[in-house]
Each structure stands twice: as C-alpha cells, then as structure tokens.
A = this chain, B = another copy of it.
Amino acid sequence: MKPSIPKGTRDFGPVEMAKRNYIFNTIRQVYARHGYTQIETPAMENLSTLMGKYGEEGDRLLFKILNSGDFLAKISEEELAERNPLHLAARFCEKGLRYDLTVPFARYVVQHREELQMPFKRYQIQPVWRADRPQKGRYREFYQCDADVVGSDSLLNEVELVEIMQEVFSSFGIRVCIKINNRKILTGIAEVIGASDKIVDITVAIDKLDKIGLDGVNEELRSGGLDETAIEKLQPIIKLSGTNAEKMQTMRQVLATSDTGLKGVEEVEFVLRTLSAEEQENVEFDLTLARGLNYYTGCIFEVKALDVQIGSITGGGRYDNLTGIFGMPGLSGVGISFGADRIYDVLNQLDLYPKDAVQGVRLLFINFGEREAAHCLRLARMVRAAGISVEVYPDAAKMKKQMSYANARQIPFVALVGEQEMADGTVSLKNMESGEQRSLAIDELIGALGK
C-alpha cells in the first residue's frame, strides 16, 4: 500500500516550491524595503495562549498535542469515566499548533516587551494549522504572510500598508483593486439610522445592488426589520457611486450627525490623499467591505484580482488592543495578510511566473565514463563559480536516458564532452529547445549559457 499524508495537507514538489519561493521572496523583499523585520514563533504554543482567542469554533479547530510520557498519570477514574472529550483534551494536552500568526505575535510582543522598540514593525511568514473540514482551496496546513505594526496610531501606517500591497501586486504583474472601508463609518451609519445591530445585514443587502436592483435591496432591508425612515436615510448610501472623492462627499452628508462616522470618513480621506496619484488609481472606497467586524476598529482593506474570479487575495485592517488578552492593554496596531495559496492560483491562471524564478538547472554535462566525468566535474566547478546551476549526470548511463533526464527536468543546455572534446579543449553544447549544437572553446561556455 502506498503511503499517504493526512487529509488537508500537501507535499510541495520542486516546481511548486520554486513558485512558492518566488511568491514569498517577493513579499519578503517589499516588507523589508519598508523596514518591516521578520520574526518566527514556534509551531507549538501553550494551549493557554491559544484557547479562547478564536471563539468556540476556533477552540474546536485547534490541533492539540498529546503530552509526552504518561499523559494519563494525573487523570482520576471519574474524569476518565465521564468521557468528556473537551475536558479530557484539555487534561491530556498542554500544547497546540499555531492557528494563525496574530495571537502568537501578540504573545511575542507581550513576552518581549522590554526588548522591543516601539513602533514595532514585524512580518512573519509561517504555516498555520486548522482542523477544518478540508475542501477545494481550504487546507489543514497553510502559510500566512502577515505584516503588522504595533505601538503607533498614525494613519501613515495605513498608507504604508496600501503601498506595500500595491508594490507586491505590481511586482507580480497582477492587476488589482484595493478596497478600503472604515469600521467607524459602518458604526456611524448604524448610529444615524438607529440600528446598530443590523450593520452586517445592511452591508450584505447593499452589496447585492448590481444583482437585485435598488428595489430589491430596499425590500431586503425592509424584511430584515428596518423601518421606512431608516431605509430612506440609507438611499444615498445604497446608490453611492462616482469617484472616491464624490463618495466621501456623500458619506460626509449622510454621517453629518455622527462624530464617529465623520472620524471614519476623515481617516479614509487621509489615506487616499496621502497616496501618490498613481497609487490612488487602484484604490476604491467600498462601503460594503465589512471583514473582521468583531476586531477591526479603523480602516479595513481587501484586495481583489481584476483578471481572475477568486475571493479576496489579501486583507487587513486596524485593531485596538491586540495584546490586552495577555495583560498589556492599550496597544493598537494595523496589519495585512497576503493569501499565498490564492496568489499562487492567480499567478498560475494568468501564467505570470517569471521564467528565471522557476528555472532550475541551466546545464547538464552528459557522463561518458569515469575519465570524462572527472574532466566535466572541473568544467562544472568553473561554470558554478559564475553562479550558474549545473549538474554532471552521475552515471555513465545510455545517452538516451541522460537526454530524457535533461528533457524531463527542462534543462535548457546539455554539454557533451567525449574523448575528442577533451583532447581539443572544447565542449559540444546542445540547445535543448532549438536542437542546435555547436562546438565551443571552454572559455566561451559561460557566455553561451546566457543568464
């Protein structure tokens, strides 16, 4: 029977890894250029750090690690007999696998508070684990790529994060729309119409305008329990359109009686006007953007790819009190998270991987026997010293086998160095794509391999 891996997990082979490295390195470089520094936290955290941070559902989806040694030693007969899985899991397990990067980051900040310089800008690219039911595009192990800055309320951080998103997707060549909203605007709307518990229903209904039309939206609001006065007040918002400036102008009027709402408008306006003109072009105020309403407190971001039908490929926002859960109140922050798996799919669908990012070995020396191979090893050292990836086929196998190895690995050049070439001090270089073969002096070899 073939061995297998746990459901919801994946092996990444050479080609997938090259593509994933390209994604992570691109994101990493942009983060670093903006002064974000990398940290890593352990895969295992104490369950006391993780439990209660992701809601009841999250507690259930944590992977828990059985205590080593006699995990039953301190369990009483009664406890065992009760067979309560939640209780016994907590008694059998002290540690769990990281569920996201945010809680470990909060724990890190509190634990290392004395060493950290505020504002602290960190990025983190590591896998997380969730015992979710696996399905298409949802895995039990997946990478998150987060950047957060804590210890600064300045909106310049929001501006910088928008810039980072722009730079990353521009590096990838993915055309995007960066949507921005603000939690305070949503709170303001709820205040103005006197229905603070219905804000999610309202954004969901408004989001359907294109599909069901204005009457449809109003009907949905009505059946959701809004009275006619409220619905009347919402009309300018439902029909909100035009440039960002025009939208903000409308929002100012609608929210005129809500201090919180106006504060939200100001925050979004600050971010928009501080971006360069070019950057502003891809950013769109979207009132229906309502992600993470239970923890975001200011700006909210979401990135959509323009040329591929897929959910959001990046998101983030500002939160208050990241570290309050660990006894360090008053630390505000703002962060974003790139969805590496979806970006991978988008780059695949649009065929946007740069050739040199996914290319492996550039040259294979065919092995004609011990003496020739020893000679090729010396040539290979020379080529490698120029930073070019090169292999000598390890066995003096049949020519056909060696050539098909080169083909299967998509190696663009093959060098044939037999007795004649050794005597002449030359190399027969074959271009595997064109089939062209030519004889080169050894010192011409590196130049002929191109970049």
Which of A's residues lie within 8 Å of B, judged by CB?
1-6, 9-14, 17-18, 20-21, 32-35, 37-46, 48-49, 60-61, 63-66, 68-72, 80-81, 83, 85, 88-89, 92-95, 97, 107-108, 110-112, 115, 117, 119, 121-122, 127, 129, 131, 140-141, 149, 152-154, 156-157, 159-160, 163, 274, 276, 326-327, 360-361, 364, 367, 373-374, 377-378, 381, 384, 387-392, 394-395, 405, 408-409
Contact = CB atoms under 8 A, between A and B. Distances in A.
Contact of A387 (B14, B33, B156, B163): B33
A274 B377 contact: yes
Contacts of A21: 38
A70 B85 contact: yes
Contacts of A2: 110-111, 326-327
Copies of this chain present: 2
A154 B395 contact: yes
A69 B64 CA distance: 11
13 contacts: A1-B327, A2-B326, A5-B41, A32-B389, A34-B384, A35-B364, A35-B391, A69-B85, A70-B85, A71-B85, A117-B408, A154-B395, A160-B394
Contacts of A60: 68
B42 A71 contact: no
Dominant SS among interface residues on chain A? mixed
A111 B11 contact: yes
Contacts of A154: 394-395
A354 to B, nearest CB: 16
A159 B377 contact: yes
A378 B34 CA distance: 13
A92 B373 CA distance: 54
Contact of A409 (B83, B92, B117, B153): B117
B9 A38 contact: no
A19 to B, nearest CB: 11
A135 to B, nearest CB: 15
Nearest to A107: B3
A68 B6 CA distance: 13
